[in-house]
Amino acid sequence: MELYRSHVLVCGGTGCTSSKSQLVMENMEKYIKEYNLDKEVKVVKTGCFGLCALGPVVVVYPEGAFYSMVTPEDTKEIVEEHLLKGRIVKRLLYSPTAEEDDIKSLNEVDFYKKQKRIALRNCGVINPEIIDEYIAFDGYKALGKVLTEMTPEQVVNEIKESGLRGRGGGGFPTGLKWDFTAKAVGDQKYVACNADEGDPGAFMDRSILEGDPHSVIEAMAIAAYAVGANQGYIYIRAEYPIAVKRLQIAIGQAREYGLLGKNIFGTDFCFDIDIRLGAGAFVCGEETALMTSIEGHRGEPRPRPPFPAVKGLFAKPTLLNNVETYANIPVIINNGAKWFAEIGTEKSKGTKVFALGGKIVNTGLVEIPMGTTLREIVEEIGGGIPNGKKFKAAQTGGPSGGCIPASLIDTPIDYDSLISIGAMMGSGGLIVMDETTCMVDIAKFFLEFTVDESCGKCAPCRIGTRRMLEILEKITSGKGEMEDIEKLKKLANGIKASALCGLGQTAPNPVLSTLRYFEDEYIAHVVDKKCPAGVCKDLLQYKINPELCKGCSLCARNCPVQAISGQVKSPFTIDPEKCIKCGVCASSCKFNAISKQ
């Protein structure tokens, strides 16, 4: 590696790649060559910076200039102005960083100010395809320390003392799980990494693997040493091609350096990792189904106990942790359990990564200390709700989770506070909803997902969730009765109590939590046959206000089903029988005479 005066970091995460960051990078390299700067300036492909809504993102160091929404056409200007002449291209700077005649450090911008990047420490900083860069930022130091200075028991204790809890959704104390697996009796043990990430809208684990794959590899080796395993598996869905490719490269490089394989760091410890691709089924994120799938069978769960720590993969003791859980491990070893335990709240230590989506300005990836309030995430980090709309609720935990209503926006985000209000931490999906979101419709959306993803092995999940969905469809189409709401609650509690695995046990949560905080909306659908948020099509009617209508006939000409009729220059009317409620008339009317009611 040569010494360069400037590094141009181009985001190669999935978000930016889909908005042409690859072409941005190629153009950048082309112009840098054209201007003879290729000995001075280096282009580096990195993982996700977090501000996905503003991609493609390009950061130029040493100035730390953060350019957003860079098009392939903009690259010439950046090279000519910034790299050649040293003049920052203000027009392309992420606007909160642009100051009069300087640039503000990214750490001072609202989006990053309240974040603390531990699991994402290297994302957007290193090139994930070059192991040396990971090593430069203390990579594999923790593995070296563990192998040469610590006993397996000491490692387990360090993790226990850190207070780290599983980031895959359950929040089980990680150290305890390591302890169980270490103490389990067996001639062969395994460690596994859950990179299935099936929660719709979530992309935390994907981004970690794309931006910093070695952190997970190093952590798995540490875990293997602690519990006495010599083989690891990473279970990742095939829909994550960039993450899979970078993992493969990283594993290859680690083997080449002897950081995976036999006698690591000259000790007796031997460990290797293989990748197993999943076909993208939500249930395969559940630990027993995941292991069944790795074994080559159909991905179905089985009852626990026995827990994986006792009888896991191939009936051997197995440690399974989530990607983000692993990504924290090397830092805990390097900085110490005490350092980690000082971050966060009493019972929830460290940070949590969230994929922020829905009705929010800064869609993207954020990592916050536990205990940060939802208000701080939405209003400060997230930049608020677009188009001046009001915050209504946020959904955490996806299809297994629940909603947090506006009245509880000051709830601190930690495992126990979320459970106490009927939501959950989940794996990190955070969907923000505004006043135009119908809570019954949202509950229906998540239930549609679980009905689709139910593996069908147990009746409560296979049949019960389908019946719940049918009731919700009845309610949102205006045919609901009051007793349906009671039926929903009864079914929900029955399924929670009797389903075989976590998928079924948590599937009713979105319904229960929207009923808890927004029962009036259900009642409005059932009794008044109205959708207060104006979402459920069957309960809406488009109407033309005769006082505002000028009779221009534009709506009638635009209507795809000829539902609008009238005489030019006198008010038109909509035939509700023909209307398909597409809304084209309302958006074409120049006089705002058409509204949905």
> Binding residues for ligand FMN, per CB under 6 A?
166-170, 172, 194, 196-198, 282-283, 285-287, 320-322, 325, 427, 501-503
Out of 120, 250, 259, 331, the only residue in the binding site for another protein (CB under 8 A) is 259
112 is written with which tokens? 């990053």
| Cβ–Cβ under 8 Å, residues 459 and 491 | no
Least Cβ distance, residue 322 to ligand FMN (angstroms): 3
From the list ligand FMN, another protein, none, partner contacted by residue 167 (C-beta under 5 to 8 A by kind):
ligand FMN
Closer Cβ to ligand FMN, 285 or 508, answer by number:
285
Out of 67, 94, 140, 391, the only residue in the binding site for another protein (CB under 8 A) is 140
From the list another protein, ligand FMN, none, partner contacted by residue 364 (C-beta under 5 to 8 A by kind):
none
Least Cβ distance, residue 382 to ligand FMN (angstroms): 23
CA distance 429 to 537: 27
Q: Does 4 bind another protein (CB under 8 A)?
A: yes
Closer Cβ to ligand FMN, 287 or 441, answer by number:
287
SS percent in the chain: helix, strand, coil, step 5 = 45, 15, 40
CA distance 463 to 96: 51
Element holding 266 (H helix, E strand): none
Out of 33, 136, 578, 580, the only residue in the binding site for another protein (CB under 8 A) is 136
Q: Which stretch binds another protein (CB under 8 A): 71-79, 131-139, 176-184, 536-544?
A: 131-139
Residue written as tokens 């110490």? Answer: 336
Find the helix packing angle between 204-211 and 241-256, rounded to 10°.
40
- Return contacts of 71-77, CB within 8 angstroms, 24+ apart: 71/20, 71/24, 72/20, 72/23, 72/24, 72/26, 72/27, 74/24, 75/24, 75/27, 75/28, 75/30, 75/31, 76/27, 76/31
Out of 144, 173, 336, 412, the only residue in the binding site for another protein (CB under 8 A) is 144
Least Cβ distance, residue 325 to ligand FMN (angstroms): 3
Q: Is the four-CA dihedral 367, 369, 375, 379 of positive or negative sign?
A: negative
From the list another protein, ligand FMN, none, partner contacted by residue 3 (C-beta under 5 to 8 A by kind):
another protein
Q: Does 258 bind another protein (CB under 8 A)?
A: yes
Number of amino acids touching another protein (CB under 8 A): 38
Closer Cβ to another protein, 249 or 523, answer by number:
249
Least Cβ distance, residue 266 to another protein (angstroms): 5
From the list another protein, ligand FMN, none, partner contacted by residue 196 (C-beta under 5 to 8 A by kind):
ligand FMN
Give the helix ranges, DSSP H, for 50-118.
75-77, 85, 110-113
| Cβ–Cβ under 8 Å, residues 241 and 214 | no
From the list another protein, ligand FMN, none, partner contacted by residue 182 (C-beta under 5 to 8 A by kind):
none
What distances in angstroms separate CA 178 from CA 168, 192, 197, 320, 324, one per listed residue? 15, 12, 22, 9, 16
CA distance 2 to 9: 16
CA distance 435 to 392: 5
From the list another protein, ligand FMN, none, partner contacted by residue 427 (C-beta under 5 to 8 A by kind):
ligand FMN
What letter does residue 566 receive in the DSSP assignment? Answer: -
Out of 40, 77, 110, 435, the only residue in the binding site for another protein (CB under 8 A) is 40
Closer Cβ to another protein, 91 or 490, answer by number:
91
Give the helix ranges, DSSP H, for 103-203.
110-113, 131-136, 141-149, 152-162, 174-183
Closer Cβ to ligand FMN, 198 or 402, answer by number:
198
Least Cβ distance, residue 301 to ligand FMN (angstroms): 8
> 486 by DSSP, 3-state: which?
helix
Least Cβ distance, residue 511 to ligand FMN (angstroms): 16
HSE on the CB side for 328, CA within 13 Å? 29
Map the footprint of another protein across residues 53-92, applying CB under 8 A.
61-64, 84-87
What distances in angstroms separate CA 177 from CA 43, 165, 171, one per listed residue? 42, 10, 11
Q: Does 138 bind another protein (CB under 8 A)?
A: yes
Out of 25, 48, 106, 281, the only residue in the binding site for another protein (CB under 8 A) is 106
Give the helix ranges, DSSP H, for 267-366.
287-294, 323-335, 337-341
CA distance 350 to 369: 6
Closer Cβ to ligand FMN, 225 or 415, answer by number:
415
What distances in angstroms separate CA 53 from CA 16, 364, 390, 430, 457, one per listed residue? 9, 6, 20, 15, 39
Closer Cβ to ligand FMN, 328 or 513, answer by number:
328
What are the φ/ψ torsions at residue 17 (nearest 5 degrees)?
-60, -35
From the list another protein, ligand FMN, none, partner contacted by residue 586 (C-beta under 5 to 8 A by kind):
none
Out of 266, 303, 305, 388, the only residue in the binding site for another protein (CB under 8 A) is 266
Closer Cβ to another protein, 33 or 87, answer by number:
87
Q: Does 133 bind another protein (CB under 8 A)?
A: yes
Least Cβ distance, residue 9 to another protein (angstroms): 7
* Binding site residues, another protein, CB under 8 A: 1-7, 9, 40, 61-64, 84-87, 105-107, 125-126, 132-133, 135-141, 144, 148, 257-259, 265-266
